[in-house]
Chains A and B, each alone.
Chain A
Amino acid sequence: MPWTAGDDVIEVVRAPKPGPVRASYRAFGETLRGLKTTFARLVEGPKTIQYPEEKVAVYPRFRGRHKLHRFEDTGLEKCVGCSLCAAACPADCIRVVAAENTPENRVSAGERYAAVYEINLSRCIFCGYCEIACPFDAITMGHDYEMSDYNRGDLIFTKEMLLAEPLDRTPLRNAGE
């Protein structure tokens, strides 16, 4: 089919141009409506959470700073130094050096234990893969998200730091909140 210019032009249907009265009402009335809208926001009051004093509660599955766990009854570490977390880590921020448990020096419940367990939190992307990879639930993601520090070196968390109970400063969201 030959194409002729103007065939595919669709006439745009526009609303009729407002007359002077309607146009001025539109300009003036809509401005007043806008003023009313903003004033309603003023009346509602601020919704700000004053951060350092008030904190947003986190959800139970929030992925914050990692925690290492011990068995509650024996006090032995759950981590057996298998390095699966380090293998799963996409940011490559976990370093595990394993050592053998001996009868005199029993650290973990398994054959081996993590002599060195470091997480470089300046690299960590908080994906939670380490938690999933761990066969003994030895590492979990906590609720702590205030981890800023003055030196990069201070962000490399050692095993002792990860085993210690975090300062309980993150409020947890209640059910239904």
Chain B
Amino acid sequence: MTLATVGYYEPWWMQVLKALVIFAVVFQLVPIVLLAERKVLGRFQHRYGPNRVGPFGLLQPMADIGKLIFKQQFRPRTAVAWLFALAPAISMMTAVATIAIIPFSNTVDIFGTRVGLYGLDPSIGILYAFAFGAIAFYGLMLGGWASGSKYSFLGAMRGAAQLISYEVAQGLSLVGVIMMAGSLSLTEIVNAQSHLPYIIPQFVGFIVFLVAGFAETNRPPFDLPEADAELVGGYNTEYGGGRFAGYFAAEYLNIIVVSAITSTLFLGGWMLPWVNPPTWVDPFVVLAKTLILVFFFFWVRATLPRLRYDQLMSLGWKIFLPLATLNALVTATLVVVT
């Protein structure tokens, strides 16, 4: 088992190159996940999903994105123009920025240069993801407010309340992992899972983190901000065309990011149990684990009905927050005792 090198920085040109490669790879996942969701959801409902555009419907996301981008940019008269345009960009930017800390592998030698297969490995580690998660909330909130429509604003308030409620539980559920690993750095956390992935000792934390992750990404059964069956669309009611596509891409990027972070923190990142594959396999292991979790997102969407708003709040505050706190307390005690 190769150990990760924490806090290693490459020359600047390598960092730029790395950023481009990681961005390109993860951004390509968005249309794939977009199509996969519709196809998998179709299979869950005894149907095929899109299979007309291109072979096996593979060009469907291209057709969808193309349609959205070439639409007229409509803006309500009461909207605050520059914020209205900026809000989806904030959502996109924060989602993309979080990808940077996901470690795909250890530091490896590529053509004689030592390269860490991650965007960056800051000492604050996972807090970086939470910081950007907090900024992502601005994207949603400003989008609803700058639309100049009261329904958008109400949707944004609802979304904001949900995000804040679950961010607390999500943050606390990680404390156990951080205490066990003794580090915030994601490479270090993966490193500490070389014997046992944290899903086993931190099962409660895993459940709370994953469910809070569903709520953070506005996915069913917590998709109250959008609630496509009951509402027009919540905070993105007034958006259309490319800007709506921005919000949409941000949502799917967030799914990928939450899945990747979960697989890093709880499923052992690039490490596999019992086998020790060569280093070049590591990024694919991370991608595979991420995509399995993304599939789980779809699976839950196909299964659970949407929560009522009071149920959502009581689940977040009355169940998950005490559960995460208890998990942190028990873990702290055990870490001190052993």
List residues of chain A with CB under 8 Å of any chain B CB. Answer: 31, 34-35, 37-39, 41-42, 44-48, 50
Contact = CB atoms under 8 A, between A and B. Distances in A.
Contacts of A44: 46
A46 B46 contact: yes
B46 A37 contact: no
A46 B299 contact: no
B302 A38 contact: yes
Interface stretch (B14-22, B37-45, B146-154): B37-45
Interface in B35-63: 40, 42-48
B304 A46 contact: no
A46 B42 contact: yes
A48 B304 contact: no
B303 interface: yes
A41 B304 contact: no
24 contacts: A31-B303, A34-B303, A34-B304, A35-B299, A35-B300, A35-B303, A37-B303, A38-B44, A38-B299, A38-B302, A39-B299, A41-B43, A41-B45, A41-B46, A42-B40, A45-B43, A46-B42, A46-B43, A46-B46, A46-B47, A46-B48, A48-B46, A48-B47, A50-B48
A2 B300 CA distance: 57
B44 A48 contact: no
Given A31-B304, A34-B304, A47 B47 contact: yes
Given A34-B304, A42-B43, A46-B47, 11 more contacts: A31-B303, A35-B299, A38-B44, A38-B303, A41-B43, A41-B44, A41-B45, A42-B44, A46-B43, A48-B48, A50-B48
Interface SS of B by simple majority: helix
Contacts of B45: 41
Contacts of B40: 42
A47 B44 contact: no
A31 B305 CA distance: 11
Contacts of B42: 46
A57 to B, nearest CB: 20
Most buried by B among A42, A44, A47: A42
Contacts of A41: 43-46
A48 B47 CA distance: 5
A28 to B, nearest CB: 8
A39 B44 CA distance: 7
Nearest to B300: A35
A47 B299 contact: no
Contacts of A39: 299
A44 B43 CA distance: 9
A35 B296 CA distance: 10
Contacts of A50: 48
B219 to A, nearest CB: 15
B98 to A, nearest CB: 27
Interface in B114-162: none
A2 to B, nearest CB: 42
Contacts of A31: 303-304
A129 B207 CA distance: 64
A39 B42 CA distance: 12
A117 to B, nearest CB: 40
Contacts of A35: 299-300, 303
A29 to B, nearest CB: 13
Interface string B281-305: 0000000000000000001101110
Closest 8 CB pairs of A and B: A38-B303, A47-B46, A34-B303, A38-B302, A48-B47, A46-B48, A42-B43, A42-B44
A41 B45 CA distance: 7
A48 B48 CA distance: 7
A92 B208 CA distance: 66
Nearest to B42: A46
B105 to A, nearest CB: 31
A44 B48 CA distance: 12
B247 to A, nearest CB: 27
B194 to A, nearest CB: 30
Interface string B302-319: 111000000000000000
A130 B303 CA distance: 49
A47 B302 CA distance: 17
Contacts of A37: 303
Contacts of A34: 303-304
Nearest to A35: B303
Nearest to A23: B319
Nearest to A36: B303
Interface string B255-284: 000000000000000000000000000000
